[in-house]
Structure 1
Amino acid sequence: MLPESVLRTVDLPVADRFEAWTQRLGHTHAPMQLASDRAADYRGHQRLIGLGGVAVWPATFDHLIFRRTPKLVRQSDPEAFHLSLLLRGEGMAAWGRQQAAYRISDFHINCSSRSWEVATGPDPVTIVGVEIPRALVALPTGRADQVIGRRISGREGTGALLAQLLVQLASDTGPYRPPDAPRLGTVVADLVTAVFAHAVDDDVRLPPETRDRTLVLRVKAFVNRHLDDPELTPAGIAAAHHISRSYLYRLFQAEGLSVAAYVRDRRLANARRDLTDPALCMMPVHAVAARWGFPRAPEFTRAFRTAYGLPPGEFRRQALAAGPGADTSVRGRSAK
């Protein structure tokens, strides 16, 4: 599991809740003045997940007004960008005369080096926040600052990739180990850089390693959307991203993968999940296979047995007999 700390104001005496929330958010990003019409009995829940130099913090909280004043900026500036992905509720922000309102799946972006005011709506909001040092955003400072105040969508393009990663991290950190934290921080920093670069039409300024890692994430997202297509091939994947097959191969080789193996492994993982799902117990094995891009049952059986140590039918029988929550871990060697 990744390094994580949690604050639930309901665990505290009522009189201490709002002050604890104020101190927590001041530590999470930078010192702020907070106000709320719910301050007398404030409800807030934040998880702070450490990813090396980057922090991700899922949170749900009552109505709140955040103010970072010029005086507070002068007193303390950690020189960090902040991003909030809005998942529930509504909010608006102001930087002097500049204002922006946010919808579900929009990103709000500000930084600790500027004064601002943010207000949420009357109902509780749910966000996933990101704190990232300026030094980890691989764009010139002047260019990166142009993103502040823009409303960036998390529903399409690089914004969607970043949003998907943040939601996945927020939903479950269990599959990750502490050594994964700095590597995940690098992935988040690369995606933030790509989102900023796209917003200011500055893709050509991305460092090659950042551009390549971001492209790999785009390719993987494309593959996972098209796993049901039996004609999903390296040639088609490369064409969809306007790159050559040889370049596609090099991108995956840098991660110790082959394109074909990645596609196969993702298909097998999804088929394995369906075979252990009681709700799909009446779906024939060959239909599960076809659902995930294996139109030929013998080919699926061989690949599944190699990956998981049992033919798919037997694997399903044992998994369903064991019941929900039982260990269905791989008993054979994983596909390479």
Structure 2
Amino acid sequence: MISSAAVPAADRFDWFSDVVAQQLVSTSIRSEHAGDFQAEAAVLDLGCVQVSQFGYAPLRARRTAAHVRSSDPEQYQLGLVTSGSMWIAQNRHDSGPFSGDLVLWDTSHPFESGVPGTEPVRAVILSLPRTALPLRPDRVDRVLAERIPADRGMGAILAQYMRSLAAHGEECAPAELEQLGSVALDLAGACLAGRIGAEDELSEESRTRALLTRIDTFIGHNLGDPELSPSVVADRHSMSLRRLQLLFRERGESVAATIRRRRLERCREDLADPGQPAVPVHTVALRWGFTNASVFSRLFRDTYGASPSEFRRAVAEEAAAGATPGAAPGATA
């Protein structure tokens, strides 16, 4: 993350304008706070996709036809406002002030945007090549500058993924970043296709990857439900159990094994949490969907080489000795 704090106050606004032009798109920007502009930015390349984080003081930006003619990265840019609010107008659409939702704009058309009021805004922005999105531009034009709810359906899954990229993307290796970029493109395509009724324009591979991400998100949100099972997952996604099992077979792990592994990982995290030393082991197990304490203990030992109590004790001892908390001695993570 780079910050305007490292730039002399008189140069901060010009610095921010240059960062936006280089990393997003050229615009004309004005602000009542230009004399001591506060902003920060971070950019991460994911192959053909880029994810950016921006935080900045109230302003108004305008991209004109002249800007488009002189410099156009030919991208769709999808913004998620995580705090504060902003608005954008393009293609005769106007989002109005919004926060917490998504909005799409096209760098190949003029637009205006702004941050109303006095509070700064923070946003995560996904930049996608227009040619990489397998949707007809004339159909995508229908949703430019229109709010996409990020609290349900594909919008919620895409927004969660964008937040995760912004928070943890820099921890990943280059090869992993390219894979993350492919998933981001699939999710964005699926989300937009659903908005314009163009799911048939997506490739089978893209639809499958987006479906698997949706299934993974559903499983993650329901790990604490002891009734979660492959049949429930299949029913929730309107598919046969056989089709679901075939999708997971290509990953090399069954649906049931995935649920069990992710539950055990959550239990392991809680047992290693120094803020939960007094929470009984059986309570941790129940929290993540294990209703039989003896079965949970056996699965945990088989997976990590130590019982839940032994693991928790070893982690506490390592922490007390000043070591980095980790797996119990002799355990395999």
- Give the shorter-chain TM-score range: over 0.9
- Quote how far apart the aligned CAs of 1:313 are: 0.5
Aligned to 2:38: 43
Q: Is the 8 A contact 1:102 1:151 kept in 2?
A: no
Q: 2:96 aligns with which of 93, 101, 126?
A: 101
In structure 2, distance between residues paired with 1:97 and 1:297: 60
Aligned length: 329
Deviation at 1:141, TM superposition (A): 2.1
When the two structures are superposed, what TM-score results if normalisation uses the length of structure 1?
A: 0.93
CA contact (8 A) 2:10 2:35 kept: yes
Counterpart among 54, 60, 68 of residue 59 in structure 1: 54
Q: For each residue in 1:225-277, what CA deviation from the matched residue of structure 2 results, as whole angstroms up to 9, or x when unmatched?
A: 21112221111110111101111112222333321111011101110111112
Instruction: Give the 3-state SS of the residue equivalent to 1:130 in structure 2.
Output: strand
**CA deviation string 1:91-119 (max 9, x = no partner):** 11222643221422111210110000001
Deviates more, 1:226-235 or 1:91-100: 91-100
Maintained 8 Å contact 1:86/1:102: no
Q: 2:108 aligns to what?
A: 113
Gaps of 5+ in 1: 1-5
Distance 2:171 2:257 in 1: 21
Alignment of 1:128 with 2:138, yes or no, is no
1:272-309: CA deviations, max 9, x gaps?
11111233211211121111111112211122122222
| 3-state SS of 2:174 partner | coil
3-state DSSP of counterpart to 2:226: coil
Q: What's 1:3 paired with?
A: none
Asked if the contact 1:83–1:108 (Cα under 8 Å) also holds between the matched residues in 2, the reply is: yes
- Unpaired segments of 5 or more residues in structure 2? none
Once the two structures are TM-superposed, the CA of residue 59 in structure 1 deviates from its matched residue by: 1.7
Q: Where does residue 11 of structure 2 map in the other structure?
A: 16
Q: Which amino acid aligns with 1:126?
A: R
Question: Which stretch shows the higher mean deviation, 23-32 or 174-183?
Answer: 174-183
**CA distance 1:189–1:163, shift in 2 (3 Å):** same
Is residue 293 from structure 1 mapped to residue 289 from structure 2 by the alignment? yes
SS in 2 for 1:108: strand
**For residues 138-157 of structure 1, what are the alpha-carbon distances to aligned partners after superposition, in whole Å with 9 as ceiling and x for unaligned?**
21222222221211011111
TM-score between the two structures when normalised by the length of structure 2: 0.94
- Equivalent residues in 2 for 1:69-218, closer than 5 Å: 69-95=64-90, 97-121=92-116, 122-173=118-169, 175-218=171-214
Match of 2:306 among 300, 304, 310: 310
Tell whether the 8 Å contact from 1:100 to 1:151 is kept in structure 2 after alignment. Answer: yes
Whichever residue aligns with residue 284 of structure 1, its letter is: P
Structure 2 CA distance, aligned partners of 1:188 and 1:180? Answer: 12
The Cα shift of 1:333 comes to 4.5
One-letter amino acid matched to 2:7: L
Letter in 2 for 1:46: A
One-letter amino acid of the structure 2 residue matched with residue 327 of structure 1: P
Name the counterpart of 2:324. 326
Q: Label 1:66 to 1:256 Cα distance change in 2 as closer, same or farther (>3 A).
A: farther
In 2, the alpha carbon distance for the partners of 1:174 and 1:277 equals: 24
Tell me what 1:282 maps to.
278
Identity across the alignment (%): 34
